[in-house]
Amino acid sequence: MTDTLYDVVVVGGGPGGYVAAIRAAQLGLKTAVVERQAMGGVCLNVGCIPTKALLHTADLLEELREAKRFGVVVEGVSLDWEATLRQKDTVVKTMTSGVSFLMKKNKVDVINGFARLAGRGQVAISTPEGQHRTVTAKNIIVAVGARPREIPAIGAVFDNDRILSSTGGLSIPSVPKSLLVVGAGAIGVEFASMYRSFGAEVTLVEMLPRVVPLEDEEVSAELARALNRRGIKVFAGSKLNHLEKIDGGVIARLVDAQGAEHALTFERALVGVGIVPNTGDIGLEEVGVALDQRGFIKVDDYMRTNVEGIYAIGDCAVTTPWLAHKASAEGIIAAETIAGHHTQPLDYGKIPSCTYCNPEIASVGLTEAKAREQGYDVKIGKFAFTGNGKATILGQRQGFVKIVADKQYDEVLGVHMIGPRVTELIAEGGLALSHEATAESIMRTVHAHPTLYEAIVEAAHAAAEGAAIHM
Answer whether 45's CB lies under 8 Å from 21's CB.
no
The model's pLDDT over 105-156, given as tens digits with 9 standing for 90+, comes to 999 999 999 999 998 899 999 998 889 999 999 999 999 999 999 999 999 9
What is the model's pLDDT at position 1?
43
Helix and strand numbers (H, E) in the chain are: 13, 22
Q: Is 395 left (phi over 0), alpha (psi -120 to 50) or beta?
A: left
DSSP label at 418? Answer: E
Strands (E), 127-267: 132-142, 146-148, 163-164, 178-182, 201-206, 233-236, 239-246, 249-255, 261-266
Q: Domains of the chain, with CATH numbers? A: 2-146+276-348 (3.50.50.60), 152-273 (3.50.50.60), 359-465 (3.30.390.30)
Cis peptide before 321 (omega within 30 of 0): yes
What is the model's pLDDT at position 377?
98
Residue type, 49: I
Q: Quick check: helix, strand or coil at residue 155?
A: coil
What is the model's pLDDT at position 3?
65
Sign of the C-alpha dihedral, residues 109, 326, 97, 171?
positive
Q: Report which secondary-structure segment, H or E, holds 65.
A: helix 48-65
What is the model's pLDDT at position 4?
76
The model's pLDDT over 251-274, given as tens digits with 9 standing for 90+, comes to 999 999 999 999 999 999 999 999
Catalytic residue among 341, 449, 461, 470: 449
Q: Which residues are annotated as a binding site for FAD?
A: 52, 315
Q: Say which residues have a Cβ less than 8 Å from residue 185's Cβ, sequence separation at least 6.
A: 212, 213, 214, 272, 273
Answer whether 311's CB lies under 8 Å from 305's CB.
yes
Known catalytic membership, residue 132: no
Q: How far apart are CA 63 and CA 74, in angstroms?
A: 11
Q: What is the pTM of this model?
A: 0.97
Q: Which residues of the chain fall short of a pLDDT of 70?
A: 1-3
Average pLDDT, the chain: 97
Q: How far apart are CA 250 and CA 176, in angstroms?
A: 12
- Helices (DSSP H) in 406-467: which residue ranges? 422-434, 439-443, 454-465
**Chain center to CA of 349:** 15
Q: Phi/psi of residue 468, each to 5°?
A: -80, 160
The model's pLDDT over 172-216, given as tens digits with 9 standing for 90+, comes to 999 999 999 999 999 999 999 999 999 999 999 999 999 999 999
What is the model's pLDDT at position 467?
93
Answer whether 314's CB lies under 8 Å from 16's CB.
yes
What is the model's pLDDT at position 227?
98
Q: Which residues of 97-134 are buried (b: 16+ CB within 10 A; e: fewer)?
A: eebeebbeeeebbbbbbbbbbbeebbbbbeeeeeeeee
